[in-house]
Amino acid sequence: MRDPVTGAGGTGALAARGPRAAAAPVGGAGLFGTRRRSGAGARRAVPVRSVAGSGRGALPALLLILAVLALTGLVMVMSSSAVLSLQQYGTPWHELERQALWLAIGTVGFFVALRTDRRSWRRFARPGMVVAVVMLLAVLVPHVGVRVGGASRWLGTSSLRVQPSELAKLALVFFAADTLDRRADQGARRGWRYQMGPVLAMVGILATLVMAQPDMGTTTVLVVIALAMVGTAGLPAKPFAAILATGGVLGMLMAVVAPYRWRRLTAFVHPFRHASGSGFQSVQGLIALGSGRLVGKGIGSSLASWGYLPNASTDFIFAIVGEETGLIGALLLAGLYLVLGVVGVRIACGARDRFSGYLAAGITAWLVGQALINIGAVVGLLPVTGVPLPFVSFGGSSLVVELFAAGVLANIARRP
């Protein structure tokens, strides 16, 4: 049956799936359709699959991107950490072995998420959020949370640590997708606050707990996820702008009350004026990027990884990529994240139901947004906030959780 508005054949992403799937987003427009009047003022959803394209065929592209990013991560972690690993642990393979272990665990999680009916995960949306909040609270308890470098962000021991804020990202995506879907039908009558209010309140709670660690980078990523998902659900422009402005003001206030944070956030404007202080990491990152020129020095030939660049295998691994593979390699890596964003949007638009579409939109915003924040900080366009580069930076909790989230995204692409 052809759609009378778009002229497309067949059913759209939300059509013929029952009232819950066919309802339009609150606020008049969203990723999954635009509300139009028909007959005596009735509203209905207009599918956008004919415009954005189906998610079918996106799975091979997604798998290829993930494989390239994961393998790039292994190579670059080895290259950026070999010297310091040899000095600290007596072997150049220490971080590489750990990264390979976490990659193996994350790959298992990816295939679990890929093979499981994604709707079955929905029942864990609210309990998962409760668990995430409890873990974030536990991090702040003295002698329970592991404190490193002035920040308490981990639970566990010196050899095995879990970062609850990474789990909070995943929990927020599932909680927001579940809430936005469940409340969409009544939200069309009761207003956007009814549908989106719980999501905004929850991200406020998570942001407060994460900032108490402190971790402004993860806080920013949580806000990006929430804004992307409520925007996808059709949050009207005026409240969206008001939320952005409020968030910006609160961010500035949190930076002002903590002098070290303010220095770090403002150093990116003139990093070379603070080259021996708050701008040291940014300056060393820019030097590494610039020394790579067009084609780079070659894998394993980085000078910055000899201890000149702090966090070379984690937050600033993109600088090592630029130094060893040059402008060409850095642009190719950044381009992979842009392609990931395009593929993610196609998967979201081709989802068979609204809940799956919200999941895909949230995961895509999370991975691509975090990559943009990381790369922007390394190249000097954004303040340094300390978020890892997805799938590439060294890290256990982040890599495993990101691969599981990618498995959910692949699941949606597999069964659009």
What integer pLDDT is reported at residue 72 of this predicted model? 97
CB-count burial class (<10 Å; 0-12, 13-18, 19+) for 253 = exposed
What average pLDDT does the segment 369-396 reach?
94
Ranges 4-8, 236-240, 281-285, most confident: 281-285
Residue 12 is assigned to a structural domain of this protein: no
The model's pLDDT over 257-300, given as tens digits with 9 standing for 90+, comes to: 877 777 777 787 888 888 888 889 999 999 999 999 999 999 99
3-state helix, strand, coil in the chain (%, to 5): 65, 5, 30
Q: Residues with Cβ < 8 Å from 140, sequence gap 6 or more?
A: 152, 209, 212, 213
What integer pLDDT is reported at residue 270 of this predicted model? 84
The domain of 272 spans: 19-414
* Residue 383 CB coordination number (10 Å): 22
Q: Is the pLDDT of residue 384 over 50?
A: yes
Q: Is the pLDDT of residue 118 over 80?
A: no
What integer pLDDT is reported at residue 379 of this predicted model? 94
Cα 86 from Cα 351, distance rounded (Å): 48
* 152: three-class secondary structure by DSSP: strand
Q: What's the pTM?
A: 0.87
What are the helix (H) ranges across 292-349? 317-349
Cα 101 from Cα 160, distance rounded (Å): 12
Split at pLDDT 50, 70, 90, the class of 31 is low
What integer pLDDT is reported at residue 416 of this predicted model? 62
Q: Residues with Cβ < 8 Å from 163, sequence gap 6 or more?
A: 153, 154, 155, 395, 396, 397, 398
Residue 3 is assigned to a structural domain of this protein: no
Phi then psi dihedrals of residue 282, to 5 deg = -65, -45
Phi then psi dihedrals of residue 221, to 5 deg = -65, -40
Domain count, the chain: 1
Pairing of strands 33-38, 29-30: antiparallel
Question: In Å, how far from its chain's centre is CA 411?
Answer: 18
Residue 8 is assigned to a structural domain of this protein: no
Residue 315 is assigned to a structural domain of this protein: yes
Residue 332 and residue 401 in contact, taking contact as beta carbons nearer than 8 Å? no
Split at pLDDT 50, 70, 90, the class of 54 is low
H-helix or E-strand containing 34?
strand 33-38
The model's pLDDT over 86-106, given as tens digits with 9 standing for 90+, comes to: 999 999 999 999 999 999 999
Residue 9 is assigned to a structural domain of this protein: no
Longest alpha-carbon distance in the chain = 77
Residue 14 is assigned to a structural domain of this protein: no
Cα 179 from Cα 232, distance rounded (Å): 13
Cα 271 from Cα 381, distance rounded (Å): 11
The model's pLDDT over 176-186, given as tens digits with 9 standing for 90+, comes to: 999 999 998 77
Name which of 79-88, 214-223, 271-280, 333-342 the model is least confident about.
271-280
Which of the two residues, 18 and 156, has the higher pLDDT score? 156
Q: Residues with Cβ < 8 Å from 150, sequence gap 6 or more?
A: none
What average pLDDT does the segment 161-173 reach?
94
Residue 173 and residue 125 in contact, taking contact as beta carbons nearer than 8 Å? no
Residue 80 is assigned to a structural domain of this protein: yes
Q: Put the strands of the sheet holding 42-46 in their side by side order.
A: 29-30, 33-38, 42-46
Name which of 159-163, 173-177, 341-345 the model is least confident about.
159-163
Phi then psi dihedrals of residue 38, to 5 deg = -140, 135
Q: Residues with Cβ < 8 Å from 248, sequence gap 6 or more?
A: none
Phi then psi dihedrals of residue 279, to 5 deg = -100, 5
What integer pLDDT is reported at residue 47 of this predicted model? 40
What integer pLDDT is reported at residue 21 of this predicted model? 43
Cα 335 from Cα 341, distance rounded (Å): 10
Residue 5 is assigned to a structural domain of this protein: no
CB-count burial class (<10 Å; 0-12, 13-18, 19+) for 19 = exposed
Split at pLDDT 50, 70, 90, the class of 80 is very high
